[in-house]
Amino acid sequence: MKIFDSHNKRHLLILKEELQRVNRLIESYNEETTWESMTTTQKEEALLSVDDDLGPDIADEYTDMPWLRIPDVITNRVDLRQYMQKPDRESRMFTRSLMRGINNRVKEDSNAAKFVKAYLGKTLANQVEDLTSEQVKDLMNKLHDFQASLSKFVAPSSQDIEQSKTNMANIINQDRIDNPGFSRD
């Protein structure tokens, strides 16, 4: 009877491991992408989480190896879900906010519309929504600089700068007189 019990336990253990693997596969995530985004320390930690029967050198041997080249006997036992990078909700919201800002500027200013059209042409995108988040940020920065260059802003003259420095020195000196016990130096 004991032989039968140990045999059943082994089959149940194998079945349990396979069910865990199937459940991991059902939760669709890209193990290769996750592996590539992990730090060396995280890779070593994940590899060391594998059962001890594979030996302690497993981390040294497979840390620098691409995920698809690591033997299945190891990858089947490693759960990378905890290392997955969660999508940054704030970043997506920020990007959508920038898109709305760009679209509003395009509606209000024909020069901005021409600038955005030229930018989209360089990226081969049809609309702002087709750009990556990095491209949207880049477009907004360049659009802002472009619109600032078209504004009627006039830089202060050297005489204006000197007058401003004199006014600030007078304010600081008056403050020292009014508050002698409080040093700002």
**Six-digit token string for 6:** 């140990």
More confident residue, 18 or 1: 18
Instruction: Report pLDDT for 8.
Output: 77
Q: Left if phi > 0, otherwise alpha if psi is -120 to 50, otherwise beta: which for 141?
A: alpha
Q: What is the mean pLDDT of residues 151-160?
A: 78
Lowest-pLDDT range, 31-35, 102-106, 133-137?
31-35
More confident residue, 156 or 23: 156
More confident residue, 142 or 30: 142
More confident residue, 162 or 25: 162
| Residue percentage of the chain with pLDDT more than 90 | 4
Average pLDDT value for the chain: 79
Q: Quick one: DSSP state of residue 54?
A: G
Q: Which residue has the tokens 């905890």?
A: 82
Alpha helices in the chain (DSSP H): 2-26, 31-37, 40-48, 58-62, 72-75, 89-108, 110-123, 133-150, 158-178
Instruction: Report pLDDT for 26.
Output: 52
Give me the torsion for CA of 51, 54, 55, 58, rounded to 10°.
Answer: -100
Q: Which residue has the tokens 């504004």?
A: 151
Instruction: Report pLDDT for 1.
Output: 47
More confident residue, 134 or 90: 134
